[in-house]
Amino acid sequence: MKDWADLPVSAQVRRIRGALADVLPRWGMRDAELRFIFHGENTTFRAHTRRGDFLVRVARPGYHTISETLSELAWLTDLHAGGIACPNPVASRDGELVIALDEPGVGASHVCVFEWVEGTIVGRRLGRSTITAIGELMARLHEHAAGWKRPRGFDRTGWLVMTGQQPTPETQATWKLLPAEHRREFQAIRRAAMRAYESLSHPRDIGLLHADLHSRNVLHTSDGIAAIDFDDTGFAPWVTDLAVASAYWNERQTERMGWMLEGYHRVREFPAHQLQHLPTLIAWRIVGVTLWATARSQSNAFFRKRLKSLQDAMLKMAREARARTCT
């Protein structure tokens, strides 16, 4: 059998589909029609059944444990119950929210299922009303996180790992894969980001975040704005969510951030002292995405084929973000 890392994306997805045939009946989806969505950090499918549509998410090995995923789903369940628009986890017929997937030759560790959230990805359609709504949604997530009594054993990424102060072995290995020019400039950004995060280490500065609330993880729905893809959920300073949300804005950054904070302040006050670090943390977010894509390229042909152009584009964006810290 050909090694997983050497397979094209289409072959990897076929193997995952085959493995799901033994798992989805536990959710009553024996005859579900699976429509492939994406194969990156996770592999996702839209499952069309007679009971309705669902999102099936298959986790790659070595990213999140089942305990960590169960903690993500616990937050989502409470968010959904509180009226915040987000994916609602679905238990299997025997009451399991996450089921292990241990199939030889398949790069997957476990599966979970969500009710399908019908909507259109926001993407680049970032007018004032949309950005303001995203800011309001972010604030509602923060407000919930700040007041939520987390269940015993809640297990999500801690703030030292989340912010890069305590790199994982995979991240440390990935730095060595970067071109020398990128590595040199990205290390300078890392040092600046670590100084920023060290100044935000007080417990009041840190909360449970979505941590990936960019515009492709936000939907326009018939009921307004919804957040999806909570897979990166973890603890970090509140400003991290702002850095993620705005990292890809290539124009009108100051004006758009004003709109986002306008929406945020409809719900709660943003800690103003954190905003001074925003440009540095935007640059650090761009570095993080570059490291992520570089790591994924080792086992995913989609990223391998595009890696050079992606790394170069990210270096340009990081330079522009750093320049904004000096103006």
Structural domains of the chain sorted by starting position, each given as residue range(s) with its CATH number in brackets: 4-116 (3.30.200.20), 121-325 (3.90.1200.10)
Whether 284 and 164 have beta carbons less than 8 Å apart is answered as: yes
pLDDT higher than 90, residue 63? no
pLDDT higher than 80, residue 165? yes
pTM of the model: 0.94
CA distance linking residue 274 with residue 282, whole number of Å? 13
Q: What is the mean pLDDT of the chain?
A: 94
Mean pLDDT of 29-50: 95
pLDDT at 232: 95
Residue 66's contacts (CB-CB under 8 Å, 6 or more residues apart) are 98, 100, 109, 110
Give the pLDDT confidence of 232-290 residue by residue, as tens digits. 999 999 999 999 999 999 889 999 999 999 999 999 999 999 999 999 999 999 999 99
Q: ∠ CA(303), CA(307), CA(311), 5° rounding? A: 130
Give the pLDDT confidence of 98-155 residue by residue, as tens digits. 999 988 899 989 999 999 999 999 998 899 999 999 999 999 999 999 999 999 999 9
CA distance linking residue 113 with residue 99, whole number of Å? 10
Q: How far is CA 3 from CA 100, 170, 239, in A?
A: 21, 20, 41
The residues facing 114 across adjacent strands are 55, 89
Q: Which long-range contacts (CB under 8 A, 24 or more apart) does 29-35 make?
A: 29/54, 29/56, 29/113
Residue 45's contacts (CB-CB under 8 Å, 6 or more residues apart) are 17, 20, 34, 35, 36, 37, 55, 56, 58
pLDDT higher than 50, residue 326? no
Mean pLDDT of 206-210: 97
- Token pair belonging to 43: 């592999």
Q: How distant is the alpha carbon of residue 122 from its chain centre?
A: 15
Strand order in the sheet with 218-221: 120-121, 218-221, 224-227
pLDDT higher than 90, residue 327? no
pLDDT at 325: 57
pLDDT higher than 70, residue 83? yes
- In terms of Cα–Cα distance, which of 220, 206, 295, 211 is closest to 245? 211
CB atoms closer than 10 angstroms to residue 184: 10
Q: How confident is the model at residue 160 (pLDDT cuts 50, 70, 90)?
A: confident
